Chains A and B, each alone.
Chain A
Amino acid sequence: ITDVLTAVALYLAIQDFNKVVFKKQKLLIELDKYAPDVAELIRTPMEMHYIPLKVALFYLLNPYTVMSCVAKSTCAINNTVIAFFILATIKGSAFLSAVFLALATYQSLYPLTLFAPALLYLLQRQFIPVKLKSKSFWLYTMQYAALYLCSLVVIICLSFFLLSSWDFIPSVYGFILSVPDLTPNIGLFWYFFAEMFEHFSLFFVCVFQINVFFYTIPLAIKLKEHPVFFMFVQIAIISIFKSYPTVGDIALYMAFLPVWSHLYRFLRNIFILSCVLIVCSLLFPVLWHLWIYAGSANSNFYYAITLTFNIGQILLISDYFYAFLRREYYLTHGLHLTRQDGTEAMLVLK
């Protein structure tokens, strides 16, 4: 049921998002911001008609979603809350989006980082430019932050009254942050902390937790015009680097991939990466069985697949990011670039 709810929420969200994208595109074309020969990069309603449906289908038919549904994991509930949060943000309702974000943060700490993209989107929707000196910017930010913090406080106090003690805070959030349980999962942390020297364990716990949170500010600066893409990248980073990742988290950000299907021509390594991801997903159960049941493999085998899978995910996200930035460059500078002497130019990052 929660999976269906998530799919419905994503469908509605992307529909709305498409409308926003069109509006923005039209605005920019009218303002002549685009270069003259980028006609083939402009997105047309025709091609975008089926994207919401594709998003919903991507989520429901994803083998990862099916697996997490069969395992009866609470990840589905997490995904639903985040999907409703996205829907509320795109619809523009600050109150609802704050409430859902508070719910999502209450369950696992990491959606806190989604505060920034949501704020940027809402500011865009209210046509408030993001300038540090602008008063309306700060006013709106404070409003949204206050809504969010209040709902979070309300939920936490509710829990306190249900349990009549504050013990749940170290048990829930302390557990997420300090990673005491080392059951093997598809993430990077379990083996790392299983083999860590006692002396350094606190240091590395802090480093790894900061790693999740610290991409927010740079991404916010770079992607302030495109908050929905920012949200996608942030969700992906959370699901790769959180302390106990599951395949359900991966299913959530993979559901967004059809939204950026127009970036396909700019992706550099998509074939290799999809092969890596598929092969690693198939090898996970095999090597797990070999280690735990057959006894003929080591924990290192499973750990290696973990590493490869995570590298595949990371490169996938950075590939999409690269493609997105490249398309933006082409939109503003024209598709057929020429050098000073008229020959075809190459584009590099410098």
Chain B
Amino acid sequence: RGGAGEMLAAAALVLLLAAAPGRAGAGQARGDALREELLLSPLPTGDLAATFQFRTRWDADLQQRGAVSHYRLFPKALGRLVAALGVRELHLALTQGFWRTRAWGQPPLQAPAGAELWVWFQPTVTDVDKAWKELSNILSGIFCASLNFIDSTNTVTPTASFKPLGLANGTDHHLLRYAVLPREVVCTENLTPWKKLLPCGSKAGLAVLLKAERLFYSSYHSQAVHIRPICRDASCLAVSWELRQTLTVVFDTFSSGQGKKDWSLFKMFSRTLTDACPLASESKVYVDISPKNKEKELLEVTPPPPSVHEAIVQGDKRTYAVYDLLNPSLFNTSRSLNVQLKWKRPQDSSELLTPVLHAHRYVSGYGLQTGEISTLIYNTHPYRAFPVILLETVPWYLRLYVHTLTIITKGKENKPSYIHYQPAQDRQRPHLLEMLIQLPANSITKITIQFERALLKWTEYPPDPNHGFYVGSSVLSALVPSVMAMKDVDVEQSPLFTSLFPSSDGSSYFVRMYTEPLLVNLPTPDFSMPYNVICLTCTVVAVCYGSFYNLLTRTFHVEEPSRGGLAKRLANIIRKFRGVPPL
């Protein structure tokens, strides 16, 4: 009975929601819509990746001053930010852990370890650096993250890697800024303000699953905010703004599931879904049930999915079980939805598919003076070659020697078709190296560059100096050829995870990958010694000054015989006793 009452309330709210756009559409078309979606995909190694996406689309022009004053679904903090600072696109990601591409496959959206922020500004912004500084400070306040450490020493202006993902009129790369803080950690204080930006908060809909004590007990946790302008309709005469909040988390089911690979929503999140967010126009759960080795009956999903959706994602045909939370028949049997997956047979672990493109980066060398950064890029496609853009940002205190840059593929030198290098300036900006490299089919490309470590002033070391300094992940952007032809996706109709990146044609899909961050030790001075060092060095200088002062201001004189002091007289008495001539 209580369930029926809730159902009625939900249905009424949904009806109200459907009527609301009609009411508000009287003056300007102020439609805003929320879609939420959860994608559960079992990974080849037995872990489970859960990707939440909350997409708010608002048909209003935020850039016009004073045009917008009533915020409904779109969070006011972000809307005001976009309007005041002239932001065209904003992408902020906070990540803990590393996505193991070789073992887990390509993620729908990857982010580097730490905090990453890249922003395209409007051409009307005159002082981009000032706007960037203000933006990072405001975002650091909104998300309780130390983004205020973003300054000119870790900001770069890439020229080729980060093209706008939304509508764009021209791409003058001087309006783009990219910064990554690899040392940032993500914790509950960052999750809470992120959840507050959601229209339903964490009280209804898919966001009830976002409980911090389970989310951070995982191998990979990444939460991101993406704001971009999109076409309002097919004719693209007007601009709408889209806000996507994504959260990807990878659970290690072996360690948390007592050695069994079966999982359920309750086991992972310690909650189950009870209803959809009343403000959402769409609320779905997708479970990836693609058969891995052409056998259909490998896994079993309960409750049985009401519908099945097939899509070609990242060049692969995948099948998804769809649970629509707005469908009232879903909660007929039980009040809550607990999706469970059981493996009927243990999966053969030898048939892990390797993704077409993956990379690995490491630092080599011994001692605290020099070192070498090596990046290995693997192209495992059997017959197609494709180019990849590599963006490396190295802090200024690791002095790169660009003349030692070598790129070797299959034993031969591989010359990149485009190189953009901006050397670092001490304490002002980092190194920026961007290259377009052609990867032949079925090959490994090795890129090496040597560097020298600098000695910093003692106040420039972080609190634990012997832990080392982090070098941010390098970014690989590529259009990977796909095995199957992909159709153009209509953003409004298809699941959210297929429309993250705009697709140019059906034969390839866009992938942005990040390598591992590096940890490099620098030589450290002794931190307990400032007073001692000052005293000793000044003593040496004083020795010089003293000797020169003596020699310059005094002249030689013949010594006058003096009676001698007390000590001399005593010594003379002793000498008289000994029979030695006196002093």
In contact, A182 and B557 (Cβ under 8 angstroms)? no
In contact, A188 and B537 (Cβ under 8 angstroms)? yes
List of B residues within 8 angstroms of A183 by Cβ: 454-455
17 A-B contacts, Cβ less than 8 Å apart?
A183-B454, A193-B457, A194-B456, A215-B548, A218-B548, A219-B548, A222-B551, A298-B526, A299-B524, A300-B526, A307-B537, A314-B544, A326-B556, A329-B556, A345-B559, A347-B558, A350-B555
In contact, B533 and A191 (Cβ under 8 angstroms)? yes
Bitwise interface map of B from 540 to 560 toward A, beta carbon under 8 Å scored 1, else 0: 110111011011101111111
Q: Which residues, 182 to 227 on A, are CB-close (under 8 Å) to B? A: 182-184, 188, 190-198, 208, 211, 215, 218-219, 221-222
The listed residue (A192, A293, A339) touching B558 by CB distance below 8 A is: A339
Smallest CB–CB gap between B553 and chain A, Å?
8
Q: B426 within 8 Å of A by Cβ?
A: yes
In contact, A182 and B454 (Cβ under 8 angstroms)? yes
In contact, B458 and A349 (Cβ under 8 angstroms)? no
The listed residue (A182, A215, A310, A311) touching B455 by CB distance below 8 A is: A182
Expressed in whole angstroms, the Cα–Cα distance for A222 and B537 within the complex equals 27
List of A residues within 8 angstroms of B547 by Cβ: 314-315, 318, 321
In contact, B557 and A195 (Cβ under 8 angstroms)? no
Expressed in whole angstroms, the Cα–Cα distance for A198 and B455 within the complex equals 16
The total of interchain contacts (Cβ-Cβ below 8 angstroms) comes to: 125
Q: Which residues, 130 to 164 on A, are CB-close (under 8 Å) to B? A: none
The listed residue (B426, B457, B458, B540) touching A314 by CB distance below 8 A is: B540
In contact, A307 and B536 (Cβ under 8 angstroms)? yes
Q: Which residues, 478 to 529 on B, are CB-close (under 8 Å) to A? A: 523-526, 529
In contact, A337 and B558 (Cβ under 8 angstroms)? yes
List of A residues within 8 angstroms of B148 by Cβ: none
Chain B interface size, as a band, is: 35 or more
Given contacts A180-B427, A190-B455, A292-B523, 20 further A-B contacts (CB under 8 A): A183-B454, A183-B455, A184-B455, A195-B530, A195-B533, A211-B545, A218-B548, A218-B552, A219-B548, A222-B551, A222-B552, A241-B541, A292-B367, A293-B368, A300-B529, A307-B540, A314-B544, A315-B547, A345-B559, A349-B550
Expressed in whole angstroms, the Cα–Cα distance for A345 and B559 within the complex equals 6
The listed residue (B366, B454, B544) touching A293 by CB distance below 8 A is: B366
The listed residue (A198, A299, A300, A341) touching B459 by CB distance below 8 A is: A198
Instruction: Among B454, B540, B550, find the residue whose CB has the most chain A CB atoms closer than 10 A.
Output: B540
List of A residues within 8 angstroms of B560 by Cβ: 339
List of B residues within 8 angstroms of A318 by Cβ: 544, 547-548, 551
In contact, A182 and B456 (Cβ under 8 angstroms)? yes
Q: Which residues of B come within 8 Å of A, CB atoms? A: 366-369, 426-427, 454-459, 523-526, 529-530, 533-534, 536-537, 540-541, 543-545, 547-548, 550-552, 554-561
Smallest CB–CB gap between A84 and chain B, Å?
28
Q: A16 within 8 Å of B by Cβ?
A: no
Expressed in whole angstroms, the Cα–Cα distance for A292 and B62 within the complex equals 55
Bitwise interface map of A from 260 to 301 toward B, beta carbon under 8 Å scored 1, else 0: 000000000000000000000000000000011101001110
Q: Which residue of A lies closest to B554 (CB)?
A: A349
Expressed in whole angstroms, the Cα–Cα distance for A307 and B536 within the complex equals 8
In contact, B529 and A195 (Cβ under 8 angstroms)? yes
Expressed in whole angstroms, the Cα–Cα distance for A211 and B538 within the complex equals 11
List of A residues within 8 angstroms of B456 by Cβ: 182, 194
Q: A176 within 8 Å of B by Cβ?
A: no
In contact, B525 and A299 (Cβ under 8 angstroms)? yes
Closest 3 CB pairs of A and B: A318-B547, A293-B367, A349-B554
Expressed in whole angstroms, the Cα–Cα distance for A304 and B42 within the complex equals 60
Expressed in whole angstroms, the Cα–Cα distance for A183 and B369 within the complex equals 10
List of A residues within 8 angstroms of B540 by Cβ: 188, 307, 310-311, 314
In contact, B454 and A181 (Cβ under 8 angstroms)? yes
List of B residues within 8 angstroms of A188 by Cβ: 537, 540-541
Q: A346 within 8 Å of B by Cβ?
A: yes
Q: A51 within 8 Å of B by Cβ?
A: no
Smallest CB–CB gap between B395 and chain A, Å?
15
Expressed in whole angstroms, the Cα–Cα distance for A310 and B544 within the complex equals 10
Q: Which residue of B lies closest to A204 (CB)?
A: B534
The listed residue (A195, A215, A219, A291) touching B523 by CB distance below 8 A is: A291
The listed residue (B426, B533, B537, B551) touching A321 by CB distance below 8 A is: B551
In contact, B367 and A345 (Cβ under 8 angstroms)? no
Expressed in whole angstroms, the Cα–Cα distance for A211 and B545 within the complex equals 9
Bitwise interface map of A from 307 to 328 toward B, beta carbon under 8 Å scored 1, else 0: 1001100110010011001100
Bitwise interface map of A from 91 to 135 toward B, beta carbon under 8 Å scored 1, else 0: 000000000000000000000000000000000000000000000
In contact, A192 and B534 (Cβ under 8 angstroms)? yes
Expressed in whole angstroms, the Cα–Cα distance for A195 and B535 within the complex equals 11
The listed residue (A195, A208, A322, A346) touching B458 by CB distance below 8 A is: A195
Smallest CB–CB gap between B520 and chain A, Å?
14
Expressed in whole angstroms, the Cα–Cα distance for A212 and B321 within the complex equals 79
Expressed in whole angstroms, the Cα–Cα distance for A43 and B537 within the complex equals 40
